[in-house]
Structure 1
Amino acid sequence: MKIIIAGGTGFLGENLEKYFAEKGNQVYILTRKPKRKNEIYWDAATIGAWKNILEKSDVLINLTGKSVDCRYNEKNRQEICSSRIESTGVLQEAIDTCSEKPKIWLNASSATIYIHSEKQLNTEENGIVGDDFSMNICKSWEKEFFKIKNEEVRKVALRTSIVLGNKGGAFPKLRMLTKLGLGGKQGKGNQMVSWIHIDDFCRAVEWIINHEDITGIMNITAPDPLSNEIMMRKLRKQMKVPFGLNTPVWQLEIASGFLKTETELLLKSRNVYPEKTC
């Protein structure tokens, strides 16, 4: 297959590229800083020569978006929003000019679109979508993605949970905290953690590509969300660390200020189930 990954130089994109390239597929990366032969410049906001690579492609995967691992000040909020909406809009504009359009377009979204939930298991069918900054970003993102329908292009929005891997995502930070003896529960510890291993994320994307009846919204997560307390306990056991100090909310608030991030990333209960893939 000819596969295009927009915003493909991050943790998810690098692993998807490796996964599909090793299976003999042609993988091209749209990036602001091309360094390799298969990388093509784009600014994620305006049409350019990059649009030609979309012709006769089999798969388009859009992962573009400013990281949410930052403080939600006005500047960052604007960049988080615009990077997602503009890149999705300009890809649609480019696709509209193609004589032979991509067969499937997978666009990133997030499992954080669902409400904070400790008991409600959010599936694609019955998930409760909420109303705050993070959830509204996801709603606007998906609205832009599904705004225009092309009969030739199958569209799937990937509501992805926390992705874990040894070389990226949240896991290296959790591993470091555990080694330092800080691997106890964060906050009350009853917030649910929906997660997926990076290898299974890649397999899920491949599964969607291969199942031509799949369209619309997909929860990309393992089918067994854990409470934060249980997850940290399992991590301590696996790493043979005998204890882990708990971190109350007030300490997380102080630490998040120093680390220039938000406590929501640790304290929101993401209780998500991938009904369509199970």
Structure 2
Amino acid sequence: MNRKVVLAGGTGFIGNYFKRSFEARGYEVRIISRKPGNIAWSNVHAIAEALEGAELLMNLAGKSVNCRYNPSNKDEIVNSRTETTLQLGKALLLCNNPPPLWINSSTATIYRHAEDRAMTEEHGEIGTGFSVEVAKAWENAFFSFTLPKTRQAALRIAIVLGKDGGVLNPFKNLVAFGLGGAQGPGNQMFSWIHVEDLFRIVLFIMEHKELEGIINCASPHPVTNRELMSEMRSVLNKKFGLPSPRWLLEIGALVIRTETELLLKSRWVIPERLQRHGFAFQFSHIQGAIQDICK
């Protein structure tokens, strides 16, 4: 019998990468999704059946935050995270042989805007605002279950970089059109993680049974926005890039229907617990990650 993992919300950029990577290691991958051909979110018994005997439940579900924060989108952003998490918990309670590990996505955006010091799991300060409230509700839903047979880990994930999605494509376009300078003040911190390292972290947690609870998933070497754009220009052989002041970003965000928070919030997050347990990043510095993705 094949080893099995279940990916919830596994049809996006990260989910597709995880599916390919698990299958390359010989796993059967079951997907829970609203897309046809997958296990439906509404069928808790089908979800429970898929979970029986699996080694891992990985939940990646949630509407993209790359949108305007109007009331309708806000409701969908929250509900797409909390309701799916609650449905998975209910399905696990129905299992006779549940997976020994449930990993749920969270977000490093839960920490405050930080330009003064890094946020760790132990010494990080929770921020304020809509995105933070979403993250808190998401984690509260996840940890509301008591599952004696299943270890639980919530990953506070930084901005994920990869070849087939993530945020680098818009940055590449800005650089290509000569707009690859700093965005806003430029000194806001940019915490990031390569999608391959995110996958390797999941494998690491599967192997290290002492790991549970809150885990920061970010490169140990965040950069400022100004440093990020400089590296982008260097890798893409562009010597100059015009900066984008805050007022211009506000107009641009309105036009493309997103929020400037995605660019202007200073995320300074360090993976202290992973480092303490000996996890070695394949892409620890931004230059190597950008070169891998853009080559």
Q: TM-score higher than 0.5 here? A: yes
Query: What is the Cα-based RMSD across aligned positions, in Å?
Result: 1.0
Structure 1 distance, partners of 2:146, 2:213, is 11
Q: Tell me which amino acid in the other structure corresponds to 2:14.
A: L
| SS, match of residue 99 in structure 1 | coil
Alpha-carbon distance in 2 for matches of 1:149, 1:213: 17
Flag as ranges the 4+ runs of structure 1 deviating above 4 A. none
The structural deviation recorded for 1:176 is 1.1
Offset of residue 130 of structure 1: 1.4
Aligned-residue identity in percent: 44
Residue 89 of structure 1 aligns with an amino acid whose one-letter code is L
Letter in 2 for 1:102: P
CA drift of 1:48 comes to 4.5
Query: Counterparts of 1:20-169 in structure 2 under 5 Å?
Result: 20-35=22-37, 40-43=38-41, 47-169=44-166
1:170-193 residue CA offsets vs partner (Å, 9 max, x unmatched): 011111111111110000000000
Give the corresponding residue for 1:201: 198
Of 115-124 and 265-274, more deviation after overlay is shown by 115-124
TM-score between both structures, scaled by the size of structure 2: 0.91
Which SS does the other structure have where 1:64 is aligned? coil
Counterpart residue number, 1:254:
251
Task: Tell me the distance in 2 between the aligned counterparts of 1:49 and 1:61.
Answer: 16
Residue in structure 2 matched with residue 269 of structure 1 by the alignment = 266
**Partner in structure 1 of residue 288 of structure 2:** none
Closer, same or farther in 2 for the Cα pair 1:48/1:100, shift >3 Å?
closer
Displacement, 1:201? 1.1
Cα deviation, 1:145-175, whole Å, max 9, x if unaligned, reads 0011211100000100001112101011111
Gaps in structure 2 of 5+ consecutive residues: 276-295
In 2, Cα distance between the equivalents of 1:268 and 1:46?
38
Instruction: State the number of aligned residues.
Output: 273
Per-residue deviation at 1:47? 2.3
What SS is found at the alignment partner of 2:68? coil
Look up the equivalent residue of 2:217 and give its one-letter code: I
Please state if 1:7 is matched with 2:14.
no
Q: Report the AA paired with residue 115 of structure 2.
A: E
- Write out per-residue CA displacement over residues 42-100 of structure 1, whole angstroms, 9 at most, x where no aligned residue: 13x56242321111111000011110000000000000001100000011011101111
